[in-house]
Amino acid sequence: MAGKKVVGLLVGRENTFPGPFLDMVNQRGADVGVTAELAVFGGTSELEPPRHAVIVDRISHEIPYYRAHLKSAALLGTAVINDPFWWEADEKFFECTLARKLGVAVPKTVVLPNKDYIPDIDHQKSLRNLKYPMDWERIVAYTGLPAVLKPNTGGGWKDVYIVHSIDQLLSAFDQTGKKTMILQEFIDWDDYVRCICIGRTNIMPLRYNPRAPFEERYVISQPVEGPLHEHAIRDAGTLVEALGYDMDTVEFAVKDGVLYAIDFLNPAPDFDNFSIKEDNFRWVLEKMTDLVIAYALGDKTPPWRDEHRWWKHVEKGPTHDALRA
Ligand SMILES: Nc1ncnc2c1ncn2[C@@H]1O[C@H](COP(=O)(O)OP(=O)(O)O)[C@@H](O)[C@H]1O
Ligand SMILES: [Mg+2]
């Protein structure tokens, strides 16, 4: 066996997942030469032999230096969960188009020009490609009212507005500054399901109540069953496979039997035990542990390996082993 394989974890302020995850990987990895640790970086050089066979990235969207490190580490052979290149490029509007092409229902959605720009933008000279004024009537005729105005990238329910009229839409839009926003048909759902997706094939549909306080949203007492369960697994699986996310949650608002995918851009999903509850927390720990050990041992390859153009121009192979040997 070539050297010990180290799994690194990058986290923000979450506290319930990291310890038990590292413990489980260390326990299960002991016999096969895999260990796990909180990764620690501080200034990376270009060809620095990557310490980690695998890195589970739960925070590079907020700590850009981690992302810079991860892109280089990926090139040098580290299996990064999730692909730092794709995560950075991904957006909700693109995902809506992708869902439609894949035959997964999504609310009718329009991407909007920004409200504000950096000071260098001259409204007369720099925006000649923009239609002005905006045809709000036409946009709203497509999405209907009420509609949801929300950021094209982002999370944590920040800047999500439900608007009931064009007046409300305009006053919400006026507050969006430089953010690119989408306007989306509001699905007046009669049921709501959130799927925790790990390794693209392990999909756990859970009943979810977005109207409840944060810690009470996963409704464990009402399991998702029957055709709804099957349908959620099928559509969530289709989306995460196409997106290549090994960690994600996919939310569906259900209306008249149609599952509308609402939010599936969650590449660092909430894994806290107080939120997803104990049984699901165990399931997440087990599936994440299986995945990182398989990647560490080379039994599985991350979905993004070889998919970027530059892979064709660099030496392939188990660079991680070669560098660590
Ligand atoms: N089109 C929609 N129809 C109905 N509810 C929606 C719609 N879009 C968002 N929501 C509600 O708002 C919440 C936050 O929106 P979401 O797209 O998940 O933003 P974020 O990325 O900030 O989590 C969702 O969980 C859902 O409850
Ligand atoms: Mg969301």
How large is the average pLDDT for residues 46-52?
Answer: 94
Task: Indicate the residue among 153, 185, 217 that finishes a domain.
Answer: 185
Task: Indicate the residue among 185, 201, 224 that finishes a domain.
Answer: 185
Residue nearest to atom 1 of ligand 1 (CA): 186
Q: Are residues 129 and 173 in the same domain?
A: yes
Q: For residue range 78-101, list pLDDT tens digits in order.
A: 999 999 999 999 999 999 999 999
Contacts of 180 (CB under 8 A, 6+ apart): 91, 111, 112, 114, 151, 152, 153
Residues of the chain with pLDDT > 70, as a percent, come to 96
Say yes or no to pLDDT of 264 above 60. Answer: yes
Dist CA 59 CA 18 (whole Å): 12
Q: For the chain, what is the mean pLDDT?
A: 95
For residue 68, being part of any structural domain is answered with yes
Q: Which domain holds residue 178?
A: 108-185
For residue 49, the model assigns a pLDDT of 92
Question: From the CA of 252, which ligand is nearest?
Answer: 1
Q: For residue range 55-68, list pLDDT tens digits in order.
A: 999 999 999 999 99
For residue 320, being part of any structural domain is answered with yes
The atom number, within ligand 1, closest to the CA of 265 reads 21
Question: From the CA of 157, which ligand is nearest?
Answer: 1
Report residues near ion ligand 2: CB below 5 Å.
263
How large is the average pLDDT for residues 185-202?
Answer: 98
Can you read off the two tokens belonging to residue 224?
A: 């998702």
Quick one: pLDDT band at residue 322, thresholds 50, 70, 90? Answer: very low
For residue 101, being part of any structural domain is answered with no
Q: For residue range 13-44, list pLDDT tens digits in order.
A: 999 999 999 999 999 999 999 999 999 999 99
Cβ < 6 A, ligand 1 pocket: 107, 148, 150, 154-158, 160, 184-187, 210, 251, 253, 262-263
How large is the average pLDDT for residues 208-227?
Answer: 96
For residue 276, being part of any structural domain is answered with no
Task: Indicate the residue among 125, 151, 185 that finishes a domain.
Answer: 185
197 Cα: distance to centroid of ligand 2 (angstroms): 14
Question: From the CA of 182, which ligand is nearest?
Answer: 1
What CATH number is attached to the domain comprising 126? 3.30.1490
Q: Are residues 75 and 38 in the same domain?
A: yes
pTM: 0.95
Question: From the CA of 153, which ligand is nearest?
Answer: 1
Quick one: pLDDT band at residue 2, thresholds 50, 70, 90? Answer: low
What CATH number is attached to the domain comprising 227? 3.30.470.20
Dist CA 88 CA 304 (whole Å): 14
Q: Are residues 84 and 16 in the same domain?
A: yes
- Helical segments of the chain, H only: 18-29, 64-75, 84-89, 92-102, 136-143, 166-173, 226-243, 273-276, 278-297, 319-324
For residue 250, the model assigns a pLDDT of 98
Say yes or no to pLDDT of 325 above 50. Answer: no
Say yes or no to pLDDT of 305 above 80. Answer: yes
The atom number, within ligand 1, closest to the CA of 159 reads 22
For residue 94, being part of any structural domain is answered with no
157 Cα: distance to centroid of ligand 2 (angstroms): 6
The atom number, within ligand 1, closest to the CA of 154 reads 21
264 Cα: distance to centroid of ligand 2 (angstroms): 7
Quick one: pLDDT band at residue 1, thresholds 50, 70, 90? Answer: very low
Say yes or no to pLDDT of 319 above 70. Answer: no
For residue 316, the model assigns a pLDDT of 64
Can you read off the two tokens belonging to residue 141?
A: 């005729």
For residue 123, the model assigns a pLDDT of 87
For residue 315, the model assigns a pLDDT of 78
Q: Which has the closest alpha carbon to 280: 209, 220, 221?
A: 220
DSSP state string for 48-109 = PPPS-SEEEESSTTT-HHHHHHHHHHHHTT-EEES-HHHHHH--HHHHHHHHHHHT-----E
For residue 103, being part of any structural domain is answered with no
Q: For residue range 129-157, list pLDDT tens digits in order.
A: 999 999 999 999 999 999 999 999 988 99
For residue 154, being part of any structural domain is answered with yes
Q: Are residues 136 and 148 in the same domain?
A: yes
Say yes or no to pLDDT of 275 above 70. Answer: yes
Q: How many domains does the chain fold into?
A: 3
For residue 97, being part of any structural domain is answered with no
265 Cα: distance to centroid of ligand 2 (angstroms): 8
Q: Are residues 55 and 32 in the same domain?
A: yes
Q: Are residues 84 and 32 in the same domain?
A: yes
What CATH number is attached to the domain comprising 24? 3.40.50
Residues of the chain with pLDDT > 90, as a percent, come to 94
For residue 14, the model assigns a pLDDT of 97
